[in-house]
A and B are shown apart, each in its own frame.
Chain A
Amino acid sequence: MIRAHQPGSEPIDIPETIPNPVVVPKPTPTPTEPAPKEPVRIPEKVP
């Protein structure tokens, strides 16, 4: 934030960056990494 000071006045906050108002924000990409695989369960042998 840049602060512009003038004697006798309140400091004015000038933002360094602002969103471009005409850009439609894209949704944040959802994670596409697959979840860790479940361990393979080997059924116990029935006697």
Chain B
Amino acid sequence: MSYRYSFEDLLALLHGHAPAKVDAVALHRRRVEHGHLSVGLKIHCLGDGSQFSTLVEGLGGAQKILDVNYYKHSHASLCLVLPPVGSARSAILLLECIEHFIGSALFSNPEIQIQVCSPGRLGARRSALLAIGFYLGSDTLRRYTLGDLATSFAENHRYPRGRRLVLYDAEGDFDRNFDWWKESGKHRLVEPQLPFENGRSDLLTGSGSRLDIENINLLATLLVHAQYQGYWNQLGMQFQEEMEALLERHVLNGLVDAPWVRTDDPESEDDDGFFAALQELVAYAFEESVRIKKKGGLFSGWHEIPVRSSHGILQEVQSLLQKYRSEVVRQSRLLDQGGRA
């Protein structure tokens, strides 16, 4: 991710508008929480981008910090790349600092599209689970057109990414200096660097929320650890099995075979095949939301219902995410107390 300005310069600029939050970001920028992955962010502005002009000028001007990136959403006036941070919490704080500075909302703003970047390229199947988990776990159910997912790299000759929710990197700059929890025998080994020299799996959330950032960070952590034998490998594999079983119960398991990410495999080129799967997912989720609304208050205690219940896919995904979020924290705290998780 190329951003051509220093993190310190960004924080210095933001400090006057949100001193306490900026201090918190500066203090915890590289702090990784419970072995989760680091978080990168890109902000695509679909409006004229005027709210960012002071910020962009303060960081060195559009030519220096924006034009170096060819990548952006097709309808965006600008794409601001932010330096990666160690946790979803810091990422959210950083966005809040920018909100203070520019004086307008970044979260849940239809003019702003947030791209959440996670280190490590996920394989096709795990990319599908990342996208499906994000979609069903979000606080907003969205309808898409294929054009909503078009970026300047959709048809790029060297790095064709297609029109997808999940996008690989284009081998740009990559900051490896975040802790990676590795399994070594029965122990946790904390490596000071990520095990990837390059490579990311990004998710184009559209109009994103704080919950989306937290969910994507959790999902990516579990799936990347499962793929690259990180400390959460076992938990990640278990999550993958549970997620696939969940989709099977709803007769949606075929969706995972669609090309949710464009890889080097020529068979993954099919934008329409991906979009048909996405539309099926969207239709299923919208139908369920209508069913829930008709049932009214029956679901007030949804969080108390076990994951394997048949109370609907939206509820099951919330429970699944909550279960794994708690489990990662529980096991991590056990480690801190000196025990084996």
Chain A interface residues toward B at CB < 8 A: 2, 14-26, 29, 32-34
* Inter-chain contact B142/A19, CB cutoff 8 Å: no
Quick one: which of B140, B207, B286, B303 has the most chain A CB within 10 A?
Answer: B140
8 chain-A/chain-B pairs, Cβ below 8 angstroms: A17-B207, A18-B140, A18-B289, A20-B140, A21-B289, A23-B318, A26-B210, A32-B21
Please count how many residues in chain B sit with their CB below 8 Å of the partner chain's CB atoms. 26
- Which chain A residues lie closer than 8 Å to B314 at the CB level? 20-22
* Contact across chains for A17 and B19 when beta carbons are under 8 A apart: no
Besides the known contacts A18-B289, A22-B292, A26-B210, 8 further A-B residue pairs in the complex with CB atoms under 8 A apart: A18-B140, A19-B141, A20-B139, A20-B289, A21-B314, A22-B318, A23-B318, A33-B20
Q: Are B286 and A22 in contact (CB under 8 A)?
A: no
Q: Are A2 and B143 in contact (CB under 8 A)?
A: yes
- Is B143 touching A16 in the complex (CB atoms < 8 A)? yes
In the complex, what distance in Å separates the CA atom of A32 from the CA atom of B18? Answer: 9
Q: Chain A binding site: helix, strand, loop or mixed by DSSP?
A: loop
Would you give the shortest CB distance from B237 to chain A, in whole angstroms? 26
Q: Specify which of A17, A24, A34 is in contact with B143 (CB 8 Å cutoff).
A: A17
**Contact present for A16 and B142 (CB under 8 Å):** yes
Whether A21 lies near B299 (C-beta < 8 A) is yes
Please name all residues of chain A whose beta carbon is closer than 8 Å to the beta carbon of B211 when the two chains form the complex.
23, 26
- The winner among A26, A29, A32, A33 for most chain B CB atoms within 10 A is A33
A33's partner among B21, B207, B286, B292 (CB-CB below 8 A) is B21
Which B residues are CB-close (under 8 A) to A22?
A: 292, 299, 302, 312, 314-315, 318
Kindly list chain A residues whose C-beta atoms are within 8 Å of the C-beta of B139. Answer: 19-20, 23, 25
**A-B pairs with lowest CB-CB distance, top 4:** A23-B139, A21-B292, A22-B314, A22-B315
Most buried by B among A2, A20, A32, A34: A20
Classify the secondary structure of B's interface with A. helix
Query: When A and B form their complex, what is the total count of cross-chain residue pairs whose Cβ atoms lie within 8 Å?
Result: 53
Residues of A within 8 A of B318 (CB): 22-23
B293 near A: Cβ within 8 Å?
yes
Q: Is the CB of A32 within 8 A of B20?
A: yes
Assembly CA distance A24 to B141 (angstroms): 14
A11 to B100, CA, bound (A): 41
Determine how close the nearest CB of chain A comes to the CB of B143; give it in whole angstroms: 5
Interface residues of B in 190-218 (CB under 8 A from A): 207, 210-211
Q: List chain A residues, Cβ under 8 A from B118.
A: none
- Residues from chain B with a CB closer than 8 A to the CB of A19 are 139-141
Chain A, residue nearest B319 (CB): A22
Q: Which residue of A lies closest to B96 (CB)?
A: A29
B138 located at the interface, meaning its Cβ lies under 8 Å from any Cβ of chain A in the complex: yes
C-alpha gap A2/B293 in the complex (Å):
21
Q: In the complex, what residues of B have CB within 8 A of residue A2's CB?
A: 143
Per-position 1/0 for B124-142, Cβ under 8 A of A: 0000000000000011111
